[in-house]
Chain A
Amino acid sequence: MNSTLQPPARKKLRLCLALFDSFFRISFFSFGGGMAMIPYFHRELVRRRQWLGEEEFVDSLSLSLAVPGPLSSNLALLVGRKTGGITGAACAFIGMISPAVLLAVASGFLLSRYAQNPRVLAFLKGAGAAVVGLIAYGAWLLAARMIMPTPRNPKAPQRRLVHLAMRSHAMLLCGALVAAVLLLHVSPLIALAAVTAVEILVITCSGEEANGNAP
């Protein structure tokens, strides 16, 4: 069958299969929700497949976080669309959500039977503790790329300092959102909108180059 397809169609088919494969594996082997998937996404999409550059990764991830809906499926749609158009988006999306449905149905039979088993609970307690470290690492990956868009550039340490100063207001805003949500119990949606509005003002007023850190 495949051999009768024209080369562009075969290329597209291969891309769609790769998208499905990547997102299925990310979804299936991850544990702890969309936020804990950030290191998986970085590993697979930026380093292994090179569908996204470092800057595009931060942009796509930020956008996926801001749009209502699960982070993981938002990102699958964005990346699929970017690399393979509508078909690519569909393949990535189906790859991302099918493990969720499969696992939920399978667990209806399995985990409800073994959820009281002390060994299963001990295993999950250990893995669950490590997930906290994994999410913190995801936050670090994002933060490092926001503060220093050109990581490991030993030539220009002083430029890093200038950049750090320029981005310090961003870190302040980030801290303000954390404080508002955790201490004042502001809805994350409202806090995100407020912080984004302030950052738009800052970028606009400071005349900072909007695309100043393109690769």
Chain B
Amino acid sequence: MATLLDIYISFIKIGLSAVGAGTAAISMMYPELVAAHPHWLCQQELTDLIALGSMLPGPFLGVTTALAGYRIYGLAGAAVATIGLLTPSIILIALIAWAVTRFASSRPVHVLQRAIRPGALGLVIVATHVLAKSRLTDTPTILMAVVSFALFLWQGRKIHPALALLAFGLLGLFIF
């Protein structure tokens, strides 16, 4: 039980650090899951879990969290870790949704909603860069990323993203 509570608290901290992208939360996983609790995971195990999480479909941070929780304390660990990761998000969104509905017509809420936009776009660009650095390792991958971006710009409204990714995966079978 004590372990489950520790897992819960650790993943609350990781969830709180997840502003903008999962990548920010990843940097919080090492101090929490390896340094503070050496008997949970070793550095290599965590790196493997993160790599596995980024390969799987589904929300990357949620999948990695469930994987880490599962490795630490089985199915109960996976459930508790996921709940911990999402606890700050649920509370804050409930408060914000209430405030936005309650003060929807007030000027400060409008100003704040518009003022977040440039920073939010910046976070998406940062995430693109971080992912590009880890995924685009040689000329074929760089070319494929450019072609997929051009394809989405050109026909993004018609093509389902999952189908496009499947096609590029199959293309990968021939190239790599």
Instruction: Enumerate chain A interface residues (CB-CB to B < 8 A).
Output: 27-40, 43, 47, 58-59, 61-63, 65-74, 77-78, 81-82, 89, 93, 96-97, 99-101, 103-105, 107-108, 111-112, 115, 119, 121-143, 146, 170-171, 173-178, 181-182, 187-189, 191-192, 195-197, 199-200, 203-204, 210-211
Contact yes or no, A70 B110, CB < 8 A: no
In Å, the complex CA distance between A182 and B125 comes to: 10
Contacting residues, chain A, for B34 (C-beta < 8 A)? none
B1 on interface, CB distance cutoff 8 Å = no
> When chains A and B are docked, how far (Å) is the Cα of A124 from the Cα of B172?
8
Size band of the B side of the interface? 35 or more
**Known A-B contacts A105-B78, A108-B70; A34 and B19 likewise in contact (beta carbons under 8 Å):** no
A104–B170 contact, CB under 8 A? Answer: no
Nearest CB of B to A29, in Å: 4
A70–B85 touching, CB < 8 Å: yes
Q: Are A104 and B63 neighbours in the complex by a CB distance under 8 Å?
A: yes
Instruction: Report B-chain residues with C-beta under 8 Å of the C-beta of A33.
Output: 21-22, 54, 59-61, 127, 131
Q: Which of A40, A105, A123, A191 contacts B70 (CB 8 A)?
A: A105
**What residues of chain B lie closer than 8 Å to A96, measured between beta carbons?**
59
CB distance from B95 to the nearest CB of A (A): 9
Interface centre among B70, B126, B165, B170 (most CB of A within 10 A): B165
Docked CA distance A48–B19 (Å)? 28
Query: Could you list 30 examples of A-B contacts with CB < 8 Å?
Result: A29-B57, A30-B59, A31-B57, A33-B54, A33-B59, A59-B113, A68-B15, A70-B22, A77-B90, A97-B62, A103-B58, A104-B56, A104-B65, A111-B55, A115-B52, A119-B173, A127-B169, A128-B55, A129-B140, A129-B141, A129-B148, A130-B169, A132-B128, A132-B136, A133-B146, A135-B131, A137-B152, A139-B128, A192-B119, A210-B107
Q: Decide: A103 and B63 in contact? CB cutoff 8 A.
A: yes
Report the minimum CB–CB distance from B27 to chain A (whole Å): 9
Query: Knowing that A33-B21, A142-B121 are A-B contacts, what are 10 other residue pairs whose CB atoms are under 8 Å apart, sorted by A's residue number?
Result: A34-B61, A35-B124, A104-B64, A104-B78, A125-B176, A126-B172, A133-B145, A146-B121, A174-B122, A191-B119
In the complex with contacts A34-B21, A77-B90, A126-B114 CB distance below 8 A: no
- Known contacts: A195-B122, A199-B115. The answer to whether A47 contacts B157 by CB under 8 A is yes
Per the bound structure, the CA–CA distance linking A53 and B135 in Å amounts to 33
Contact at A66–B156, with CB atoms within 8 Å? no
- What distance in Å separates the Cβ of A38 from its nearest Cβ neighbour in chain B? 7
Query: Do A137 and B169 form a contact, CB below 8 Å, given A69-B89, A132-B145?
Result: no
Which residues in B have their C-beta under 8 angstroms from that of A74? 89, 93
- Once the chains bind, are A73 and B59 in contact (CB under 8 Å)? yes
A27 adjacent to B168 (CB under 8 Å): no
Residue from A35, A129, A200 in contact with B127 in the complex, judged by beta carbons closer than 8 Å: A35
Contact yes or no, A210 B114, CB < 8 A: yes
Interfacial chain A residues near B70, Cβ < 8 Å: 104-105, 108
Q: Whole-angstrom distance from the CB of A51 to the nearest CB of chain B?
A: 15
* Cα(A108)–Cα(B66), bound, Å: 10
Q: What separation, in Å, do the CA atoms of A51 and B62 have in the docked complex?
A: 25
Residues in chain A near residue B88, CB distance under 8 A:
68-69
In the assembly, what is the distance between CA of A58 and CA of B124, in Å? 13
CB-defined contacts of B166 to chain A, threshold 8 Å: 127
